[in-house]
Copies of this chain bind each other. A is one copy, B any other.
Amino acid sequence: MVKIYFCGSIRGGRELASGYREIIRILGESGKVLTEHLGNDQKIKEKDALMADREIHDRDLEWLVESDLVVAEVTVPSLGVGYEIGRAIQYRKPVLCLFRENAGKRLSAMIAGSPDVEVYQYVEPGDLKEKLKEFISRNAARRIC
């Protein structure tokens, strides 16, 4: 089963949490989402109370290294999401960045201009089904070859 690392903002702001949840649900139809707690505020709070920052970092980085591909929601500016994209490039993971074009934000030039990631603009998470399936099947095939 394809292992997917999903990135979304936590301490940078949770205003798109319901969108993350919907994206994680769609990704779950094609593979295993290692970071599925990202759609769930309650689970984030519980883990945050139990784990030190170093433990959170090391567990997430382990998942990132273990994953077959990375899908990042990049609408809400987030240091963690940017860091994970940078490290994903280091580990040569395929990276898809999803940017909500109707949220009144402007995407960082370091993400929009990076030749090592694919950026896809969307309006509603429900519109992402086809794109996500295509990205996963293209990269899952590459993994097997």
Contact = CB atoms under 8 A, between A and B. Distances in A.
Interface of A: 9-13, 48, 52-58, 60, 74, 76-90, 105-115
B78 A109 contact: no
Q: Interface majority SS on A: helix, strand, loop or mixed?
A: helix
A87 B84 contact: no
Nearest to A110: B80
A32 to B, nearest CB: 21
Contacts of A48: 109
B12 A58 contact: no
Number of copies: 2
A63 to B, nearest CB: 12
A78 B53 CA distance: 19
A80 B11 contact: no
A110 B84 contact: yes
* 5 nearest CB pairs, A to B: A86-B86, A82-B82, A57-B113, A53-B113, A12-B77
